[in-house]
A and B are shown apart, each in its own frame.
Chain A
Amino acid sequence: MKIKYKYKYKEESWVYSRIVKNHFFHPRNVLLDDAHYKADGIGVAGSPTCGDMMIVWIKIDKKSRKIKECKWRTFGCASAIASTSMMSVMVTEKGGMDIKKAINLKPQQILERLGGLPDRKFHCSVLGDIALREAINNYSKKQPKKYAKKRK
């Protein structure tokens, strides 16, 4: 029996936006060799038991107090991987983000840059900024007190 298909339905668009897809298949700033990486601050968020876990390593320029490098590794779904990747791009682009600004980075900002995520995947983008904040706090703690006062 021959059936002529007059209408062809287009494939349902990908679950995620084009940008998410791009960052998932080509993640930026992944740290492959942590043993030889001298980070100024390290932050961990989540746990593998709840499905998402990530580590963020940052290098900070002491003078300008801007983030020079932001490396990461993530266990999680496509949206978790893409949002961490996007976050690492956001804090290091244009000569690096000021740590004061970075500590206030909101998941919504990452989400906007990603072109949105499905509603139920929103929580996946929350971990990245938590890990980043941890890393910055980790860095701040290591600084001499005098410096910390000056910051206030």
Chain B
Amino acid sequence: MRNIYFDHAAATRIDPRVLKRMAPYLTKRFGNPSSLYSLGREARAAIELSRKKVARVLNVNSEEIIFTGSGTESDNLAIFGVAKAYSDKGRHIIVSKIEHKAVLEAAKKLEKEGFEITYLKVDPKGLVDLREFKKALRPDTILVSIMYANNEIGVIQPISQIAEIIQKFRIGRSIFHPFFHTDACQAAGALSLDIGKLGVDLLTFSGSKIYGPKGVGCLYKAKNIKLEPMIVGGDQENNFRAGTENSALIVGLAEALELAEKLREKESKRLMHLRDYLIKNILERVPKCRLNGHPLKRLPNNINISIAGVEGESLALMLDKHGIFVSTGSACASFDLAPSHVLLAIGLTPEAAYGSLRLTLGRNTTKMEVDRVLKILPKIVYKLRNISPSPFARPS
């Protein structure tokens, strides 16, 4: 029996086409891109070509692309970098409550250093309230960071509308800030990353979610924005990120992004179809269960449900026994033993958050796999509800 991998929001399997392009830079083309001789120049050329490829997908200039070590690092660089470089203009930052920890924890760290952070509420469907956002903007706001699509509930935020509001705010006061950063780690490969349409000033994505390698991320930064580097010790990446470039990973990231962009529209349509089929059938076959997040404005591959009366870790482990790999927002499965902050932010009770399950489909997902999950999941829920004391969970 083959395993069913339904956790593509956590990691994706590297595409063989991507791996093939990377391999030479791990072996015979191992040179340091900063070296003068041909071996080094070769690596430099590969990196610069990769930069161009990424820039083409994002519809920006290649000087505006910074390669980093992960999505988290890019998020950190954007937030700390802008905050430190513009602290003379203001010390106020706006983030949403459902950001990834890479943004939230960075914001919390700045809060300790004396910055003022507004944590924007989201509605029960997971969308940022634009009216509230407008009210939160202040002349001393230097940075806004709102994620493109959420990693847990897959909700897609109205990024271009938010960018428009910021643009109007800037023009109205003739100032250059606040700058707008968006974490697009989950959106990459599923939604358009055209900066011209999105209107953001900074954008983060990483290799591990787009069928590329782990350990490589990318930050787009509009040319005119200053950034205080976090890692120093070399003039790589335009002085924004010191350290010898990992040519293989960078080549892999660019290749993966280009490929994902090529497949995007067709693949999104296919996944959306499977997603809706899965959601509809789970809700039908498993009594007392609900979908978390907006039903339409969500990633084509994301399903997040709460099942009353059962606990997510138990559920995930039982599914693991059947070779089905999923993830949960339950506290019992996390290291800090707290339920998912995203699920609590959209108004779920802790109990519902404990019973949450996230299924994320991917490029290799087939209808057969979906049907198998649909067959096994209700049985497991039945079994766990049978040993659960919650009276409402008891099958009648």
Contact = CB atoms under 8 A, between A and B. Distances in A.
Given A1-B20, A24-B314, A51-B330, A74 B389 contact: yes
Interface in A49-73: 49-55, 73
Contact of B311 (A25, A32, A51, A55): A51
A51 B314 contact: no
A51 B310 CA distance: 10
A79 B314 CA distance: 9
Interface string A63-93: 0000000000111111111000000000000
Nearest to B16: A1
B387 A74 contact: yes
Of A32, A51, A74, A81, most B-chain CB atoms within 10 Å: A51
A150 interface: no
A52 B332 CA distance: 9
Contact of B386 (A32, A50, A55): A32
A77 B330 contact: yes
Contact of B313 (A49, A54, A73, A78): A78
By DSSP majority rule, is chain B's interface helix, strand, loop, or mixed? helix
Nearest to B320: A14
A120 interface: yes
B387 A77 contact: no
B57 interface: no
A115 interface: no
B261 to A, nearest CB: 23
Interface of A: 1, 15, 24-25, 27, 30, 32, 44, 48-55, 73-81, 120-121, 124
29 contacts: A1-B19, A24-B317, A27-B387, A44-B389, A48-B351, A48-B390, A49-B350, A50-B350, A51-B332, A51-B339, A51-B354, A52-B311, A53-B389, A55-B389, A73-B387, A73-B388, A73-B389, A74-B389, A75-B310, A75-B389, A75-B390, A77-B313, A77-B330, A78-B313, A78-B317, A79-B332, A80-B311, A81-B387, A124-B332
Interface of B: 16, 19-20, 23, 309-311, 313-314, 317-318, 321, 330-333, 335, 337, 339, 349-351, 354, 386-390, 393
Given A74-B388, A76-B311, 7 more contacts: A73-B388, A74-B389, A75-B393, A77-B314, A78-B317, A120-B335, A124-B332
